[in-house]
């Protein structure tokens, strides 16, 4: 049985430490990077790790460490906003569907089923056909892909909570629908949504990287881990390190966030441990 | 069971209707005029107007939707602007790459994940379990396209066993075609397998704690039979749920891996269509992929009913 004290929970502590390191790196990159992440140097193209460039340089001679550090900001920003979009739209749909019920529930759930047919990449393809590719397309496409999970989770909680004694009692005391939902149902449906948000965050980071890799997300010259991997692909045989560090940064970040999510789930919901 | 299936088919039809509506609306309602988008900055006003007329964009939106949907139901998804052939025909020519890639990855996922998940559950908190969990945790954390790049780096650049990408088609022989799809399928399946290992382990562990499993063991049943006949069978619902969701994700993942390995599948078709502003192709591919995912989810729903009779009577 896992310890319920956060700091004694190995997975949670490890995840929190990696996530903290990510946040510190991102924050640091705003004020300091070892070199200008956009500064090119033709004389130092495609170098392996050296004392001056610990992660080497890319095909334009830019410092990969500085670009990986700056890329953390992109990942965090896209991840947070995408999860925010998915959670808020999903929460709204789930509340409406679960609380109102009837035909509205049927229609909204079919809509949610339909949205589930659009993984982030597919939505991004559609949006990019109409808008220019960029971070906004990434955030929206990833956010939409998260809506079904949040909507279903909220609906499930609302359906259960609606029949609970404290809600029935509040209704009997004359509580209106808005009060019932906002004061009694919503706060009690939040814990599973918080866990869902934590587990969605690493998925968002992976999706952002994939979209940038495909050219549907963050655009050059701004650093994004996925974009760096796309650029590295053409130089695999000349400088394999170019592909190793951005990929490693994604993997380590996602690993840390997964640990954090798993740990949080254990701590908030010991039944699933 | 018949009533259950009928209810699910009704829900499927409604869901597919929403899918078509979403695809249509994104292209037609979002700001910007599809005809102007296709013509780009170099198109004259007259040419844009002619294209708008030819595409039926001057008619009321509901009429356009109904006509487009009726066409789609007949398999007519419009005509590609870039290639000047029917979109449906283009999709059919690209399917022999994307579909086998997704199927190979699915086979890899199931063959690796389910035995490993069962092994981890039956060796709970022993070294094998920890090892399986470490591998699956890594698998979930590594982006598919990065594992694809690493596989190219190792097997192609370093060892020179396979080529880094490309696909000569099935006409060049089954084995060469499979060889081209093998690495992308492993990269695609590894991520999905990692998710399924965790789900299988967790589901089998839950069932192994049930009273009827203890009873089966107390009767003296061999452990192998307890695991296969009692634990695994009853753990199938959560396993099928996750596997089903992963199958849908395989279609999306295939789009990314096609780019890594330069495979001429649906994903590359759509990406090329975006650069060429070929909206009918983007629309057609999106409709096809989204509908396929919805149909896979429907099949998973039906599988629930077959696996657990209680679900049919809810």
Question: Whole-angstrom Cα distance, residue B231 to residue B203?
Answer: 9
Give the pLDDT of residue A29: 94
Give the pLDDT of residue A273: 44
Average pLDDT over residues B28-36: 70
Give the pLDDT of residue A16: 93
Question: Whole-angstrom Cα distance, residue A136 to residue A49?
Answer: 33
**Predicted confidence band of residue A44 (pLDDT cuts 50, 70, 90):** confident
**Predicted confidence band of residue A66 (pLDDT cuts 50, 70, 90):** very high
* pLDDT-wise least confident of A174-178, B181-185, B305-309: B305-309
- Put simply, the answer to whether B260 touches A233 (Cβ < 8 Å) is yes
Contact A56, A47 (CB under 8 A): yes
Average pLDDT over residues B105-112: 94
Average pLDDT over residues B279-289: 92
Cβ-Cβ pairs closer than 8 A, A with B, add up to 150
**Predicted confidence band of residue A1 (pLDDT cuts 50, 70, 90):** very low
**Predicted confidence band of residue B32 (pLDDT cuts 50, 70, 90):** low
Query: Of B37, B248, B251, which is closest to A130 when you measure between CB atoms?
Result: B37
A92-114: per-residue pLDDT in tens?
999 999 999 899 999 999 999 99
Cβ neighbours of A113 in B, within 8 Å: 11, 15, 18, 294, 297
Residue A265 has pLDDT above 80, yes or no: no
Question: Whole-angstrom Cα distance, residue A19 to residue A76?
Answer: 10
Query: Of A119, A130, A254, which is closest to B249 when you measure between CB atoms?
Result: A119
Cβ neighbours of B251 in A, within 8 Å: 119
- Put simply, the answer to whether B140 touches A254 (Cβ < 8 Å) is yes
Contact A227, A212 (CB under 8 A): yes
Question: Best residue in B184, B205, B290, B314 to probe A by mutation, most A CBs within 10 Å?
Answer: B290
**Alpha carbon B234 to its chain's center:** 26
Across all residues in chain B, what is the average pLDDT?
A: 87
Contact B103, B296 (CB under 8 A): no
Give the pLDDT of residue B190: 92
Give the pLDDT of residue B313: 53
Across all residues in chain A, what is the average pLDDT?
A: 88
- Put simply, the answer to whether B273 touches A129 (Cβ < 8 Å) is yes
What is the enclosing helix (H) or strand (E) of A196? Answer: helix A186-214
**Predicted confidence band of residue A3 (pLDDT cuts 50, 70, 90):** low
Question: Best residue in B13, B149, B253 to probe A by mutation, most A CBs within 10 Å?
Answer: B149
**Predicted confidence band of residue B8 (pLDDT cuts 50, 70, 90):** confident
- Put simply, the answer to whether A214 touches B256 (Cβ < 8 Å) is yes
Contact A70, A33 (CB under 8 A): yes
Give the pLDDT of residue B311: 62
Query: Of A114, A130, A232, which is closest to B22 when you measure between CB atoms?
Result: A114
Question: Whole-angstrom Cα distance, residue B227 to residue B225?
Answer: 5
**Predicted confidence band of residue A237 (pLDDT cuts 50, 70, 90):** confident
Query: Of A110, A250, A259, which is closest to B146 when you measure between CB atoms?
Result: A250
Give the pLDDT of residue A270: 53
Question: Whole-angstrom Cα distance, residue A250 to residue B140?
Answer: 11
* pLDDT-wise least confident of A52-61, A209-218, A234-243, B136-145: A234-243
Give the pLDDT of residue A192: 84
Q: How far is B16 from chain A (nearest CA, A)?
A: 7
Torsion angle defined by CA atoms of residues B76, B79, B84 and B85, in that order, rounded to the nearest 10 degrees: -10
Give the pLDDT of residue A271: 52
**Predicted confidence band of residue B266 (pLDDT cuts 50, 70, 90):** very high
A152-161: per-residue pLDDT in tens?
999 999 998 9
Give the pLDDT of residue B172: 84
Q: How far is A85 from chain B (nearest CA, A)?
A: 18
B197-233: per-residue pLDDT in tens?
988 998 898 888 889 889 988 988 888 888 888 888 8
Query: Of B19, B140, B270, which is closest to A258 when you measure between CB atoms?
Result: B140
Residue A203 φ/ψ region, left for φ over 0, alpha for ψ in the -120 to 50 degree band, beta for the rest: alpha
Give the pLDDT of residue B52: 78
| A interface with B, Cβ–Cβ below 8 Å | 110-111, 113-122, 125-131, 202, 206, 209-210, 213-216, 226, 229, 232-233, 236-237, 240, 243, 247, 250-252, 254-255, 258-259
More confident residue, B307 or A217: A217
Question: Best residue in A130, A212, A262 to probe B by mutation, most B CBs within 10 Å?
Answer: A130
Cβ neighbours of residue A232 closer than 8 Å, sequence gap 6 or more: A58, A239, A242, A243, A246, B149
């Amino acid at each position: 049985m896992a310890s319920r004290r956060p700091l004694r929970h190995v997975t949670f502590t490890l995840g929190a430490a990696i996530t903290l390191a990510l946040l510190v790196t991102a924050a640091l990159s705003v004020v300091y990077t070892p070199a200008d992440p956009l500064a090119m140097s033709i004389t130092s193209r495609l170098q392996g790790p050296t004392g001056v460039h610990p992660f080497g340089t890319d095909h334009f001679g830019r410092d990969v460490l500085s670009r990986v550090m700056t890329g953390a900001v992109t990942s965090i920003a896209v991840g947070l906003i995408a999860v925010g979009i998915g959670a808020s739209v999903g929460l709204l749909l789930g509340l409406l569907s679960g609380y109102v019920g009837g035909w509205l529930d049927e229609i909204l759930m079919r809509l949610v089923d339909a949205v589930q047919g659009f993984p982030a990449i597919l939505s991004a393809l559609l949006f990019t056909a109409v808008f220019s590719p960029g971070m906004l397309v990434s955030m929206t496409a990833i956010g939409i892909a998260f809506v079904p999970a949040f909507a279903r989770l909220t609906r499930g909680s609302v359906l259960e909570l609606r029949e609970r004694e404290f809600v029935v009692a509040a209704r009997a005391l004359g509580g209106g629908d808005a009060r019932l939902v906002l004061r009694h149902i919503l706060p009690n449906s939040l814990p599973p949504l918080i866990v869902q948000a934590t587990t969605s965050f690493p998925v968002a980071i992976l999706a952002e990287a994939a979209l940038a890799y495909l050219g549907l997300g963050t655009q050059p010259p701004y650093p994004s881990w996925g974009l760096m991997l796309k650029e590295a692909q053409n130089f695999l045989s000349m400088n394999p390190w170019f592909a190793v560090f951005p990929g490693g940064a994604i993997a380590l970040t996602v690993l840390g966030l997964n640990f954090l999510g798993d740990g949080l789930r254990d701590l908030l919901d010991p039944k699933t441990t | 069971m018949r009533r259950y299936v009928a209810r699910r088919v009704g829900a499927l039809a409604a869901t597919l209707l929403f899918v078509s509506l979403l695809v249509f609306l994104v292209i037609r309602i979002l700001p910007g005029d599809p005809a102007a988008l296709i013509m780009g900055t170099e198109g004259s006003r007259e040419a844009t107007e002619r294209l708008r007329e030819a595409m039926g964009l001057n008619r009321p939106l509901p009429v356009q939707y109904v006509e487009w949907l009726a066409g789609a139901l007949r398999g007519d998804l419009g005509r590609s602007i870039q290639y000047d052939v029917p979109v449906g025909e283009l999709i059919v020519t690209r399917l022999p790459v994307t579909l086998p890639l997704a199927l190979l990855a699915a086979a890899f996922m199931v063959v690796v994940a389910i035995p490993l998940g069962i092994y981890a559950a039956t060796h709970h908190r022993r070294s094998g379990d920890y090892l399986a969990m470490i591998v699956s945790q890594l698998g979930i954390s590594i982006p598919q396209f990065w594992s694809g790049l690493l596989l190219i780096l190792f097997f192609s650049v370093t060892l020179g066993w396979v080529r880094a990408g490309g696909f000569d088609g099935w006409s060049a022989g089954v084995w060469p075609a499979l060889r081209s799809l093998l690495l992308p399928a492993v990269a695609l399946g590894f991520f999905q397998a990692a998710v399924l290992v965790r789900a299988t382990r967790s589901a089998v562990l839950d069932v192994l704690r049930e009273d009827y499993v203890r009873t089966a063991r107390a009767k003296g049943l061999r452990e192998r039979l307890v695991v296969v006949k009692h634990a695994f069978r009853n753990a199938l619902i959560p396993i099928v749920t996750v596997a089903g969701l992963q199958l849908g994700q395989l279609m999306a993942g295939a789009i990314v891996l096609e780019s890594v390995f330069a495979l001429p599948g649906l994903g590359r078709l759509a990406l090329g269509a975006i650069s060429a502003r070929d909206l009918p192709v983007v629309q057609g591919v999106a409709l096809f992929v989204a509908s396929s995912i919805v149909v896979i989810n429907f099949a998973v729903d039906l599988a629930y009913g077959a696996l657990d009779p209680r679900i049919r009577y809810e």
